[in-house]
Amino acid sequence: MNKWLKRIGYTLLVLFILLNVMTVFQAYKFTHFYDNVPKPKKPNEMNVGEKISSIFFGVKYPKSKVEDSLLVPHETVSFKAEDSLKLEGWYLDSQKDDTIKPHIGTVIMFHGHGSCRSGMIKEAEAFYEMGWNVLMVDFRAHGNSEGNTCTIGYKESKDVKAAYDFIEAKKEKNIVLWGISLGASTILKGMSDYNLKPSKIILEMPFGSLQNACEGRLNIMHLPGEPLAAMLTFWGGIEQGYWAFYHKPWDYATKVNCPVLLQWGINDPRVTEEETNHIFKNLASHQKTLIKYVHCGHESLYKKETEKWNKTVGDFLKQ
């Protein structure tokens, strides 16, 4: 009997160690982007060896590349975060365009995980047409900004602060922050960390906590959320030097007092309705609106439901 118990114990120990080793590799690959590597194959394109390797060691994801298809006048700008990383972006100055109505203010835009400023072009053009200046920022480790390590919003709050300071230095008084997914969650952390005072913020599909974000990623991979999400959260935080279980945008929301437009797609496989409602409830603002898009998932709400987005965002900005 004791012999069998020992065997079972050793087996469970080996499985526990193996699962942790796998999670360490997966967490590392999730938070790092690589230069000059090809886009990873889809699971149905992999052979048996490649599938086994991806399960045990994860896959390398290329750093996002900036592709300039922006149709309105813009210039490339750069500035540094407080930890000296150089960030790059595009600045759209509506005051230089005679066809645009008088200047209203500036919208600072932040993209999602693995994307870059190129992924926000359609929304940026929409803001520009409404009469706003626009700053489109590449987060660290994305696009043309420096670095290869992403902390899923923890250190990226420094990038939000740097972008805000860049626009504030232009004597701008009416600053709006817009973010999608990681960008939205990082806006909440940036406001909490640095007591930023934008006029308004627009949040699209922010995750409620880092552990929830891990669960969402596992969900789209058709893998069980627990205990893998907790393990990814733990090892990801250890690798990046912070206690990741405290990284909760729905807690940061309690410090937001300006008007907020929170938007979410009902078919979102990564961010749940419960997370979204929790964030909305926690927002300290007395002027907050939650809009849900019937035909959208975790994607550009503008591209999928353009008319609704234009009206909703346009009306919010005019209030």
Q: Which of 23, 21, 72, 36 is nearest to 218 (CA)?
A: 23
- Is the predicted pLDDT of residue 144 greater than 80, yes or no? yes
In contact, 144 and 111? CB cutoff 8 Å = no
* Averaged pLDDT of the chain: 92
- 3-state SS record for 241-289: CCCHHHCCHHHHHHHCCCCEEEEEECCCCCCCHHHHHHHHHHCCCCCEE
Q: Which of 63, 113, 121 is nearest to 90 (CA)?
A: 121
Over residues 46-83, the pLDDT tens digits come to 787 776 777 778 888 999 999 999 999 999 999 999 99
Q: Does domain 63-209+247-318 have CATH number 3.40.50.1820?
A: yes
Report the percentage of the chain scoring pLDDT > 90. Answer: 75
Q: How confident is the model at residue 100 (pLDDT cuts 50, 70, 90)?
A: low
Give whole-number Cα distances, 160 to 87, 138, 276, 313, in Å: 10, 10, 21, 21
For the chain, the structural domain boundaries read: 63-209+247-318
Q: Mean pLDDT throughout 131-155? A: 97
Q: Cα angle at 248 between 242 and 250, to 5 degrees?
A: 165
- pTM equals 0.93
Q: Regarding beta strands 75-80 and 260-265, do their DSSP bridges make them parallel or antiparallel, or are they unpaired? A: unpaired
Q: How confident is the model at residue 20 (pLDDT cuts 50, 70, 90)?
A: confident
Where does 8-64 show beta strands of DSSP type E? 33-34, 61-62
The Cα–Cα gap between 213 and 229 comes to 8
